[in-house]
Amino acid sequence: MEKIYDVMILGAGAAGLSAGIYTSRGKLDTLILSEGVTGGQMVLTNEIANYPGVEMIKGYELADIMKRQAKSFGCTLKANVKIVDYRLTEEIKEVELEDGRVFRAKAVILTPGGKPRSLNIPGEKEFEGRGISYCATCDADFFRDKRLIVVGGGNSALEEAVTLTHFASQVTIVHQFDHFQAFAHAVEEAERNPKISFVMESELRAYEGNGTLQKVQIEQLKTGEHTYLETDGVFVFIGYIPNTATFKGMVTMNDRSEIVVDEAMKTNLPGVFAAGDCVAKRYRQVTTAVSDGTIAALSATEYIRSK
């Protein structure tokens, strides 16, 4: 007889690993499948300084601790697999891998995560974590009394720019248009801040430095002129991309392709839950992903036991 897991978790970031810790410790037979490396966005974070109870830790170290915890409770984890088909509408959910293997479970928790939208310009990979950041809450403290650039013109960009002024000596906002897309109060607050200056109708074309980021190349879009701006760091806030494309047409999503869940992390499909950076919410931190994963695990446990 083919094995049927109690819970199958699709994704092994902070949300997925947290869910796996809770379900496996609750004596549910749990399988985590990950198309990427274990740890998700945590692995890309150089240092995490705002995780409660931990003064400072490398992202990959925190991910490894979570993985070991889940496995110690009996959770099965398979990373770097390629999923080619999802069958989530029946009572027993199925996932098929590229190699033909099919895994089945009574409940599924979707934790595919997501990623900040990047600029895709030269130097980006080289200086990610060495001057380039996508999270002011995570990294602002590393840039005390430094010169920073914020890229973007929406609410997140302007609000985070103001937040960064509590740490940085100066913040320059670079935006591609001659006006902002943010709410008026966010624009006014940024314009009133003496530490913030603006470079409008311009885009970054390259990151440059020696080991760490030292300057950026900027193109003035009206004239085509290229100039350099020295900086100690760049924070990019031009949107977020959830890894949910494969679930379109299966679970309800909003216009940003985020999965819509209720307070129990339930999707529109019975027995299917979602957690972490893939769901519709305002804040995305390791701690919020852990919280989502915990709630989804407890909800999945309740669902299975009700059956």
* CATH classification at residue 106: 3.50.50.60
Co-location of 165 and 244 in the same domain? no
CA-closest candidate to residue 150, choices 169, 135, 172: 172
- Looking at the 3D structure of the chain, how many domains does it have? 2
Q: Give SS3 for 197.
A: strand
Which residue type, as a one-letter code, is found at position 115? Answer: K
Co-location of 134 and 213 in the same domain? yes
Co-location of 134 and 230 in the same domain? yes
Co-location of 82 and 152 in the same domain? no
Co-location of 163 and 76 in the same domain? no
Co-location of 176 and 107 in the same domain? no
Co-location of 226 and 253 in the same domain? no
Q: What are phi and psi of 103, to 5 degrees?
A: -110, 140
The pLDDT of 41-66, averaged and rounded, is: 86
Domain coverage including residue 143: 118-236
Question: Residue 49: its pLDDT value, please?
Answer: 78
Instruction: Count Cα neighbours of 210 within 13 Å in the Cβ-side half-sphere.
Output: 0
Boundary residue ending a domain (236, 255, 277): 236
CB 109 within 8 A of CB 64: no
Question: Residue 1: its pLDDT value, please?
Answer: 55
Task: Please tell me the distance from the alpha carbon of residue 245 to that of residue 35, in angstroms, as a whole number.
Answer: 14
Boundary residue ending a domain (236, 254, 281): 236
Co-location of 245 and 110 in the same domain? yes
Co-location of 192 and 124 in the same domain? yes
* Average pLDDT of every residue of the chain: 94
Boundary residue ending a domain (184, 216, 236): 236
> 156-169, pLDDT tens digit by residue?
899 899 999 999 99
The pLDDT of 182-192, averaged and rounded, is: 93
Co-location of 111 and 254 in the same domain? yes
Edge-to-edge strand list for the sheet holding 132-133: 132-133, 233-236, 147-151, 170-174, 196-199
Query: Percent of the chain at pLDDT above 90?
Result: 82
pLDDT tops 70 at residue 275: yes
**Which two three-digit tokens encode residue 31?**
């399988």
Co-location of 48 and 71 in the same domain? yes
Q: What is the band of 11 on the pLDDT scale with cuts at 50, 70, 90? A: very high
pLDDT tops 80 at residue 47: no
pTM for the predicted model, two decimal places: 0.77
Co-location of 110 and 30 in the same domain? yes
Helices (H), the chain: 14-25, 59-72, 124-127, 136-139, 155-164, 184-192, 286-306
